[in-house]
Structure 1
Amino acid sequence: MRKIIAILFLSIIIGLKAGAQININPGVDTTDLTIKSAIKFYTDYMGEFKGKKLPDFKKYWSEEDCKSYKIPDLSIYGVGGDYPIYAMAPIKTITYVKPLPNDMVMLKSIGGWIDTLKILNVMYLSNHLIKKDKNQQLHFVKPTTFYKKDWQHKDLRNIHYTFPKKHIFNKKIADSLIAQVEKLEKDWELKPIQIEYVFAPTYDEIQQIRGFDFTLGLGNREKPSGLSNQTDNIVYGAGNGENYFHEIVHIYLNPIHPKSPLNEGLAVFYGGSMGQNLSWHIKRVKAYLKNHPEINLNKPQEFYFMDNYTNPLSTIQGLLCNLVYKKDGIKGLKRLMTYTNVNEVYEKEFGLDLKNLNKGLRALIDSQ
């Protein structure tokens, strides 16, 4: 995911220089008044995305959705992070607009950027649903609402599960998540948080109900993955069924120390990553570093990708959390999360020399 975010920030820089642009693909019937009004509505909405600034949702979403969600558009943070995906794509092309029954319109678009070779790089294929209400006003419809007939719902303690109709709910796995949540609340002295937990077998399905036919990072071999929306307390999990604890940890603990550089590491410590526990990832990073002596951990933030199954940077951060926990328990973790600079963690918690961090971190990883 960090590799994807790095690519996206490159596109932001390109977008700021090039300026936003919305095109209409040949074949879209702009003489049809229904299609024409949907295109204008979509174009006005996209025009309000400027940097991190979000639109006035009341102008574009139903009153019900605006009451239920602080950010009713579930697609805005399409690949995670806190930068709207629509602000990252300077080039947008409307490819498909189709009137549907019940005064609904489906509008599809491509978002991306042009690189230095003048090649279009596709960031997403979006799928927007637009409906005309009884007052003849247009508003967007959440894909989750549109596909509601094909999804089930189940409540368990503070978790509201939403999942495909074909899935047989596994209460045993769900109970294991609840047990982890209860322990987390107890250890960190927190009250229960009402969480909407949306899961499916594949990440493609998760992105579909968020409003995308494609986002950067889809494809490749399937593996468990997830996202969390800490504004509206929504967890999206793919491939790990009823228990994607990693993203639950983000919902509970990220808001406590928003400036901590170790939030991702803490989630990996508790809930693993991509369907595997921290120990599994540490072993892979350890082996990888032995086979790649050229990697310089004096700048560990640059070691964010080794393959599609382990994020080495978040694994190292998880290792730091684990070592502190073994030494000082929850008290140590709470202390660790008060740091706002990871270099202070290396120095004060582990006594590492920042000038020779490569040697110190490698030794720390080798000791595991």
Structure 2
Amino acid sequence: MKNIFTLLFTILSFSASIGQNNPLIINSTISLPKDSLETKKLITSLNNLLIAKEKPNEENTLVWNKENVETYILLDEINGIEKSGKFKDDYFYRPFLTNVVKLSETEYYTQLSYIGVNENNPILRGSFELIAHKEKDGFKFSSTLTRNSSSWKIKKIGNCTFHYKNTINNKTAVNYEKAVKAFDKKLNATNQQTEIYFGGDFPELLKMIGVEYKSDYNGRETSTFNSKAENRLLIVQGSRDANFDDFDLHDLWHERLKNVVSSKIINKPIDEGCAYFYGGSWGISWNDIFNTFKLKVANDKQKNWLEDYGKFANFGESKEKHLMAEYVINALIVQKIEKEKGVAGVIEFVSCGKYQKDNENYFKALEKLTGITKNNFNESVWVLINNEK
């Protein structure tokens, strides 16, 4: 209890005096390395890491290279952590060093917390764990993923490596590897190495990668995180499927596309159309999605698809298992483009830029690849619908 009050006092004392580019605040109760030079190097390296985390991961020279992709997944969670939209302050949350434990002659376990103060009330934004690795001129840092899964079993099939605690569904793993290979071939992504860790649920996922707490995730039960470095893709699942009894082709398409195309330029409605066509949705096949679309949406022969595009009306069985007409339309267009231009045309189409309400980037790419314009969009979509079998 004394340590808690000491930390709160430290927070309140520092909160008024720290400006932008604030250094790491050190809790006075923690035990630092006895060697003062080593302590100085550790603190300096940590401060440099907290600055470098805002750069693209590949440019961060404070990452321990032996576990770079494992660390990127954690850095993505710490990136921008100081900002508060509510309080309109880019440096509202301050970094506190809350624990240092010597693991070996070359490694330290460290804990950081980002805390802000409003009206003398401390607000915890997030707490994170990192492993500091001693090098000649300082320290480099890694996530705790490898450490936390050191007793797990490993199974390798083709270019896929599966990390699991007890058992794994071998049939699912084999089918997954085949689907990965097929999608990667379609996307012309050769020699992509995929590693998957199967956590039981979302809290376990967070703990595995070194996130003790993050306010964004209050109440969340399941999720999947990933990161990429060169030809290595890392996936950490917390989806209550620790034995890997199932996977979704729809989600796998998204995953493999992002392995090739930056998410910054992917058009979501087109990407969803691809996922419908190549993998269905919610376990529903593309054929069944299209038949439901014809029955529930395309039964109105007076419908104007240009006027409706962007309304995102749900024709699925529930809000959770939603289906969107825009995605079906794009699935039909993707099918046409692949037949006429090949997969390269599909990649060009899906890479036309983020969704915009005016859809200017969408129609520019659409006209280039298919000749379909705003003027003939409605007519062209009806032709695609009527020709689909």
Matched, 1:109 2:119: no
What SS does the aligned partner of 2:348 have?
coil
Matched residues in 2 for 1:212 and 1:308: separation? 30
What SS does the aligned partner of 2:237 have?
strand
Contact 2:203 2:221 in 1 (8 A): no
Answer with 1 or 2: which has the greater Rg: 2
Matched residues in 2 for 1:206 and 1:49: separation? 21
Q: How many residues align?
A: 318
Matched residues in 1 for 2:312 and 2:331: separation? 22
The Cα of 1:142 is off from its aligned counterpart by 2.9
Q: Residue 323 of structure 1 is aligned with which of 332, 338, 345?
A: 332
Matched residues in 2 for 1:311 and 1:94: separation? 42
5 Å-filtered alignment, 1:1-40, equals 19-22=20-23, 24=25, 27-29=27-29, 32-33=32-33, 37=40, 38-40=42-44
Counterpart residue number, 1:343: 363
Counterpart residue number, 1:191: 190
Matched, 1:138 2:142: no
One-letter amino acid of the structure 2 residue matched with residue 343 of structure 1: F
Contact 2:366 2:372 in 1 (8 A): yes
5 Å-filtered alignment, 1:65-144, equals 65=67, 69=69, 72-78=71-77, 84-86=79-81, 90=91, 91-94=93-96, 96-102=98-104, 103-110=107-114, 124-132=126-134, 137-144=138-145
Unaligned runs of 5+ in 1: 1-17, 288-296
Matched, 1:43 2:53: no
Unaligned runs of 5+ in 2: 1-18, 84-89, 297-306, 353-360
Contact 1:49 1:87 in 2 (8 A): no
Deviations 1:201-227 (A, max 9, x none): 223322322221234542435345454
Matched residues in 2 for 1:248 and 1:181: separation? 8
One-letter amino acid of the structure 2 residue matched with residue 108 of structure 1: L
5 Å-filtered alignment, 1:236-251, equals 236-239=236-239, 241=244, 243=247, 245=249, 248-250=252-254
Per the alignment, do residues 302 and 93 of structure 1 end up closer, same or farther by CA in structure 2, a change over 3 Å counting? farther
TM-score normalised by the chain length of structure 2? 0.60
Matched residues in 2 for 1:302 and 1:230: separation? 35
TM-score normalised by the chain length of structure 1? 0.63
Contact 1:105 1:131 in 2 (8 A): no
Contact 2:115 2:122 in 1 (8 A): no
Counterpart residue number, 2:274: 266
5 Å-filtered alignment, 1:206-355, equals 206-215=205-214, 217-220=216-219, 222-223=221-222, 225-229=224-228, 231=230, 232-239=232-239, 241=244, 243=247, 245=249, 248-250=252-254, 252-254=256-258, 257-258=261-262, 259-261=265-267, 262-263=270-271, 266-267=274-275, 269-271=277-279, 300=310, 309=320, 318-325=327-334, 327=336, 334=343, 335-339=345-349, 340=352, 341-344=361-364, 353=374
Identity of aligned residues (%): 12
Per the alignment, do residues 187 and 104 of structure 1 end up closer, same or farther by CA in structure 2, a change over 3 Å counting? closer
